[in-house]
Amino acid sequence: MEIFLAIVAVAALGLAATSQPAYRLRRSRAVAGLLSTGWPALVIGLLLGPHVSGLIDESSLIDATPLLMIGLGWIGVIVGLQLRREVLEALPRRIVGFTVIDVVITGVVFAVVAWLGLRAWTDGQRPAELWAGMVLIASTAVAWSMETRSVRPAGESNAVQRASLAIRAGGALGAVAAIAAFGIGAALTRRLDDGIVRFDVPAAGVRLALTAVLAIALGIFGRYFLRVAGKQREHELVVFLGVVVFAAGVSAQLGLSPMLGAMLTGAVIANLGSTDLRAFERFVLKAEHTVAVFFSVLAGVLLEPRIGAGGLALVGAIVAARLIVKPLVSRAGYTLAEDDDDGPVSERPQRGLVGLRLACARQSPIAVALAVGLVLAEPSAFNQKLLAVVAFAGLACELLVLGVAAAERITTGDEMEETASA
């Protein structure tokens, strides 16, 4: 019965999201920003879940595990499909540099913040026990939301457009880095038969190697299956669902993040080169919104909102670190991305630049999916609290950045121009 309520709730959300009033609401940039990152769905999941209304019982989520697996695999494959060789080669080196700067600086800073925060929260738990949590928080801090419409001014200069492009491209590359970092990092520890978490590097090597083999094999199979499917949509659906859930499933079975195997599989499929690939991509992207809504609701149901003082302190630390570190990263990134002909972006007065600089402080939608993967593998209360920490920190950053961007637009008159033109 609970799973029925969950499904009906998701259906209602899906309908609401695609209804006319929702489309009208999305004309507002702030609402568009919030919707695109899935926060409203996550909040509704939280309200339906066992800790607020109790309409959906936690145990009923066991029934939904195959659906969660499909969701994680779907996201992983979508990210992996972006790693096509031609696309990567065409990507300006400046953007790659921007992403590398983000991964290195953010990774180091947030690993330290997470480590200190988790140690304080758990009263000095053993390193191996906190390792996965630390890797999760550091990985979720990498990258940012690729949505830029809500933080851009109405009238755009070339420089602002380039900065937006840098955010989108850097966010996409960062998502790859985040999934890889979490997948590899979290694999280094595992709970052994005696119930204690330990570092186990050789086993991690075996599992990661097998996942790579899986990805290559499944990628080759996937492309072959697509040819077998021909152009028939129902057959394509079988292939896509099968590849996605198989890749995510084997990764989970090996104790790895389900998204890692799926992402690698997507990357292999993208690089094998096939005329069927474009149809496959279109097919995948068509369902993106539906999967995102569904997944966000389930994530909301899974999280444990009672995180206590330790959890709240960690959320505060993450938000503060993001607001300090990310604008610095973005400044360095925009400098790399700027065009010499227009002069340095940072030296010219630009409307909407504050919002754009802060845009990198917004959390990537991948972050919640990574945390869900951890909860799926080990549904302990602590991991559910970690999911809540990631979600709350992301939501706080989102509201702060969108608030600043909206205030800036009002100050500069863009909002009024926009309303008038609408």
Nearer to other proteins, 242 or 316 (CB): 242
Q: Is 67 in the site for other proteins (CB under 8 A)?
A: yes
Q: Is 199 in the site for other proteins (CB under 8 A)?
A: no
Q: CA angle at residue 54 from 53 to 59, to 5 degrees?
A: 155
Amino acid at 251: S
Residue 117 beta carbon to other proteins: minimum distance, rounded to whole angstroms: 12
- Quick one: which segment of 32-40, 164-172, 228-236, 313-321 binds other proteins (CB under 8 A)? 228-236
Q: Is 265 in the site for other proteins (CB under 8 A)?
A: no
**Sign of CA pseudo-dihedral 366, 367, 368, 370:** positive
**What is the C-alpha to C-alpha distance for residues 350 and 141, in angstroms, rounded to an integer?**
27
* H, E, C per residue of 112-176: HHHHHHHHHHCCCCCHHHHHHHHHHHHHHHCCCCCCCHHHCCCCCCHHHHHHHHHHHHHHHHHHH
- The pairing of strands 189-191 and 197-199 is antiparallel
Q: Is 14 in the site for other proteins (CB under 8 A)?
A: yes
Q: Is 158 in the site for other proteins (CB under 8 A)?
A: no
Q: Is 367 in the site for other proteins (CB under 8 A)?
A: no
Q: Is 233 in the site for other proteins (CB under 8 A)?
A: yes
Q: Is 18 in the site for other proteins (CB under 8 A)?
A: yes
**What is the C-alpha to C-alpha distance for residues 330 and 319, in angstroms, rounded to an integer?**
16
**For 263, how many CA atoms within 13 A lie in the half-sphere containing its CB?**
27
- Which residues, 268 to 297, sit near other proteins by CB under 8 A? 287, 290
**What is the C-alpha to C-alpha distance for residues 278 and 387, in angstroms, rounded to an integer?**
34
Q: Looking at the DSSP assignment, which residues form a beta bridge with residue 190? A: 198
Residue 15 beta carbon to other proteins: minimum distance, rounded to whole angstroms: 6
Residue 16 beta carbon to other proteins: minimum distance, rounded to whole angstroms: 10
CA dihedral 65, 207, 88, 152 (to 10 degrees): 40
Q: Is 229 in the site for other proteins (CB under 8 A)?
A: yes
Q: Is 383 in the site for other proteins (CB under 8 A)?
A: yes
Residue 237 beta carbon to other proteins: minimum distance, rounded to whole angstroms: 6
Q: Is 10 in the site for other proteins (CB under 8 A)?
A: yes
**Sign of CA pseudo-dihedral 31, 263, 259, 394:** negative
- Quick one: which segment of 188-196, 326-334, 363-371, 399-407 binds other proteins (CB under 8 A)? 188-196
Task: Tell which one of 8, 201, 312, 410 touches other proteins (CB under 8 A).
Answer: 8
Task: Tell which one of 380, 410, 416, 419 touches other proteins (CB under 8 A).
Answer: 380
Task: Tell which one of 171, 219, 258, 266 touches other proteins (CB under 8 A).
Answer: 258
Place of tokens 């504050």: 354
Place of tokens 């499929």: 269
The token pair that represents 419 in the structure block: 């309303």
Q: Is 254 in the site for other proteins (CB under 8 A)?
A: yes
- Which residues, 95 to 134, sit near other proteins by CB under 8 A? 118, 121-122, 125, 129-130, 133
The phi and psi torsions of 198 (rounded to 5 degrees) equal: -135, 160
Nearer to other proteins, 69 or 260 (CB): 69
**Sign of CA pseudo-dihedral 302, 305, 309, 313:** positive
Q: Is 314 in the site for other proteins (CB under 8 A)?
A: no
Task: Tell which one of 38, 45, 73, 365 touches other proteins (CB under 8 A).
Answer: 73
- Which residues, 166 to 185, sit near other proteins by CB under 8 A? none
- Quick one: which segment of 62-70, 88-96, 345-353, 410-418 binds other proteins (CB under 8 A)? 62-70
324: how many CB neighbours lie within 10 A of its CB?
11
For 234, the enclosing helix (H) or strand (E) is helix 233-253
Amino acid at 38: G
Residue 369 beta carbon to other proteins: minimum distance, rounded to whole angstroms: 15
Q: Is 62 in the site for other proteins (CB under 8 A)?
A: yes
Q: Is 252 in the site for other proteins (CB under 8 A)?
A: yes
Residue 51 beta carbon to other proteins: minimum distance, rounded to whole angstroms: 15
